[in-house]
Structure 1
Amino acid sequence: MYFSQKLITNKAFLKTDDLSSTTMMNTTTISIPTSLESLLTRLTIYTTIYGGIFILAAGNLGCVGNILVYRSQTYRHQACFIYLFWETIASLFILNCILLTRILETGFNVSLMNESNAFCRIREFISMVMYQSENTLFLCATLDRILSAQRSKKLRQWSNQVPLAYKIIVANFVLWIAVSSHRLVFYGNGSGHCDSQEGFYAAFDHYQDVSLSAIASPLLVIVLAVLLRCTVRSVNQRRATLKTQGNLQETDSQLTIMLLLQSILAIINYVPYGVYILYSMFTKEWVKSSWRVAWEQLIIAFIRLSSYVFAAGTFYVSMVSNPSFRKEFFKIFGIQRGRIALVHTKAVGNIVNIRTVAP
């Protein structure tokens, strides 16, 4: 895009006999190539398109990997992995419903929410239910690991309770469906874009979003991450004891470290988005220049993409940090580390049979 800037210079009155030499005005027009403001707008669009598509593709592959591992015979009967399985289901909704519509709206200017009142309400409802469920179920899995590593027997007995885990999962979805149900009624696109109805409800919905997404979620993740870090330190101090008790405790230690790294990923996911919501609330009435708005839109694009990193990245964190998880994933696809050995058989023609022998 191009814009023209007019530089106007008023010359003084010239006292001459020529009638044409009365008050004179010299106007010069200068064309400046693509403005930085337009460049920022394009960067916002390209960031959303390419970054969003990458996160969407990588996230779906990661969620499929998580589901395969969490439903394997090795992990399906452990409460921690039951929480993580249903957290992955929530992540799939976040990626394929929330992120996909964000890419279409910001990147391609295709807004299904603004065209359909029903889609607007369902999308905002699903957004709140799945974001809060994802966070809650991850916190439950983290808390389960913290309890399992405690010295107190009374605390440890609350860990790995499979029947209790299923009850908590059902209660979790029922709770967030009830808390979010108002969006199915009071959201709409009557103003031209999908948003809450103006008035008291808009304030209520905004403060609810601030309290849950900007304060509660980041705070709880940080607190449990600190507690989990203390658990890892305690486990390391008892490493000699764990080694004498077999591989099960070593697997628990790997799982604890995996959840600690996922907690860091969750902090990256929730904290910037929470800061963005708080900033939007405090600066809502400010008068901002178009230059500042363009910068804010670009920064918000990065923050919004970061809010999907947790949904897309837990599988890859697990693969890198947890050897047991990695081994189980390879086992599902029949991939085993081994060496190739030549074994001669007595078949006709002295045919050589090749097979894989585990080291």
Structure 2
Amino acid sequence: MFTGLKCSTFTTGAYPSTMSNATHGVSNSLLSAPYDLNIYFGLFLWVAGNIGSIGNLIVFRSPSFRAHAFSIYLFSQSIMDFIYFNFVLMTRILQKGFGIPLLTRYEALCKARQFFSFWGNQISFSLFSFGTIDRILSTRRSQNFRKWSNRPSLAYKMIVASFIFWFLLIGHRLVLYRIENGSCGPTSASSIYVEWDEWFEVATSAILPPVVMLIFAFLLIRSVREIIERRINPTAVDISPQAQNSNKNATLLAQMSSKLTIMLLLQSVLVVITYVPYAIELAYTSITDDWPKTPLQKAGEKIFTESTHLLSYVFFASSFYILLFTNSGFRRQFKRSFGIEKQNDLTMYQGTTLRTQTNVPIH
């Protein structure tokens, strides 16, 4: 996902088996490892990402989901992810894995790919963030906050705004990226631009997402726990039948909190292992770029670089599977889309939705 920096420009190159014997003691297996990573791990991510994107599209477009604002955000994110896997990741596999010089031969493709790799990443994470914010607002105690949740008209406006916002910040790549000396990357005419582009990407793509995700997890889990406390522990003067019956939902709400905690914990862990290694790799490469290195060091660093860049796809490839594993409503709707859900499961799902939709939507 994160490409276009000094450490991630696309260069021409042949598979190690066709290289000369000037490897200075570095084994062919070590030299071929970056290519194998892009082929095998890259293809695995491509298959998993496409299945996940299509699965999300099916569920979030279903009648039970599509009327909700958060579903609009996540449906749009799934479209972006589908394009991302089949353009950005596939070109990486072809160029970095199979050695087909697409991005170092066609300048238009070079510009488009390096722009979309950054722009698409920001759009996808922004849409995911909007969906999470919508859920946070829906769980707030204050009506002033809740009134901003589940507003489809606002969702469409935010989607368009994010497209324009990130295009204005990243569109320069369509002009200032080109093929130079067998590499697809930022023009070397301005070292200031190269440095700015490099650190702007790492700040927005590698540092910001983990911070944002941890804040979201804290806010959402705290809001859900506040709701549980209000439902389980009503005020002493409240002896209405509604207050007395609220304890019957205690188990359900506790289960929701547990599942939500697991989901956000998994997503937070994935954000850390997805984004933090990239930031470390970029900082290390920038600091040691001019240091003398042995062929063995260079081979090891190339493996680390390719691994961190491939890991950057894991977060978006895994969202469908996390939802399928942690969210019973999502899982039932997915089975229902293929006609494999039992009627009693469907009835239970509908009843659960009715009991919880005014508190914490769990779709």
Secondary structure in structure 2 of the residue aligned to 1:83: helix
Q: Are the equivalent residues in 2 in contact too, given 1:94–1:311 (CA < 8 A)?
A: no
Using a 3 Å threshold, how does the CA distance of structure 1 residues 179 and 247 change in structure 2: closer, same or farther? farther
Give CA deviations for 1:182-223 in whole Å, capped at 9, x if unaligned. Answer: 011110012211010012321221122122123223322222
Corresponding position: 1:225 with 2:217: yes
2:336 is aligned to 331
- Which of 316, 325, 332 pairs up with 2:321? 316
Q: 1:112-191 maps to which residues of 2 (within 5 A)?
A: 112-191=102-181
User: How much has 1:294 moved relative to structure 2?
Assistant: 1.0
Could you tell me how far apart the structure 2 residues matched to 1:273 and 1:235 are? 37
> Which amino acid counterpart does residue 304 of structure 1 have in structure 2?
H
User: How much has 1:259 moved relative to structure 2?
Assistant: 4.9
1:347 is aligned to none
- Which of 46, 50, 54 pairs up with 1:60? 50
- Which of 63, 79, 84 pairs up with 2:74? 84
Q: 1:29-108 maps to which residues of 2 (within 5 A)?
A: 35-108=25-98
Single out whichever of 293-302 and 249-258 deviates more from structure 2.
249-258
User: How much has 1:37 moved relative to structure 2?
Assistant: 4.1
Using a 3 Å threshold, how does the CA distance of structure 1 residues 263 and 85 change in structure 2: closer, same or farther? farther
TM-score between both structures, scaled by the size of structure 1: 0.78
Using a 3 Å threshold, how does the CA distance of structure 1 residues 232 and 248 change in structure 2: closer, same or farther? closer
> Which amino acid counterpart does residue 278 of structure 1 have in structure 2?
A
Could you tell me how far apart the structure 2 residues matched to 1:255 and 1:80 are? 18
Higher RCO (C-alpha 8 Å, min separation 6): 2
- Identity percentage over the alignment? 37
- Which of 203, 220, 225 pairs up with 2:195? 203
User: How much has 1:247 moved relative to structure 2?
Assistant: 12
Could you tell me how far apart the structure 1 residues matched to 2:37 and 2:21 are? 28
Q: Are the equivalent residues in 2 in contact too, given 1:37–1:294 (CA < 8 A)?
A: no
Secondary structure in structure 2 of the residue aligned to 1:113: coil
User: How much has 1:178 moved relative to structure 2?
Assistant: 1.6
Single out whichever of 228-237 and 306-315 deviates more from structure 2.
228-237
Using a 3 Å threshold, how does the CA distance of structure 1 residues 249 and 229 change in structure 2: closer, same or farther? closer
Could you tell me how far apart the structure 2 residues matched to 1:224 and 1:301 are? 29
Q: Are the equivalent residues in 2 in contact too, given 1:95–1:311 (CA < 8 A)?
A: no
Could you tell me how far apart the structure 2 residues matched to 1:139 and 1:221 are? 8
User: How much has 1:123 moved relative to structure 2?
Assistant: 0.5
Structure 1, unaligned runs of 5 or more? 6-32, 340-356
Structure 2, unaligned runs of 5 or more? 1-16, 234-245, 349-363
Secondary structure in structure 1 of the residue aligned to 2:141: coil
Give CA deviations for 1:77-104 in whole Å, capped at 9, x if unaligned. Answer: 1111111111112211221111111111
Q: 1:243-262 maps to which residues of 2 (within 5 A)?
A: 256-257=260-261, 258-259=263-264, 261-262=266-267
> Which amino acid counterpart does residue 292 of structure 2 have in structure 1?
V
Give CA deviations for 1:290-333 in whole Å, capped at 9, x if unaligned. Answer: 11111111122221121111121111111110000000011111
Single out whichever of 239-248 and 119-128 deviates more from structure 2.
239-248
User: How much has 1:55 moved relative to structure 2?
Assistant: 0.9
Single out whichever of 212-221 and 169-178 deviates more from structure 2.
212-221
Using a 3 Å threshold, how does the CA distance of structure 1 residues 92 and 3 change in structure 2: closer, same or farther? closer
Secondary structure in structure 1 of the residue aligned to 2:183: coil
Using a 3 Å threshold, how does the CA distance of structure 1 residues 233 and 267 change in structure 2: closer, same or farther? farther
Q: Are the equivalent residues in 1 in contact too, given 2:73–2:130 (CA < 8 A)?
A: yes
Could you tell me how far apart the structure 1 residues matched to 2:187 and 2:201 are? 15
Corresponding position: 1:307 with 2:312: yes
Using a 3 Å threshold, how does the CA distance of structure 1 residues 294 and 332 change in structure 2: closer, same or farther? same
Q: Are the equivalent residues in 2 in contact too, given 1:225–1:264 (CA < 8 A)?
A: no
Could you tell me how far apart the structure 1 residues matched to 2:302 and 2:228 are? 45
The structure with the largest strand share of the pair is 1
User: How much has 1:69 moved relative to structure 2?
Assistant: 0.4
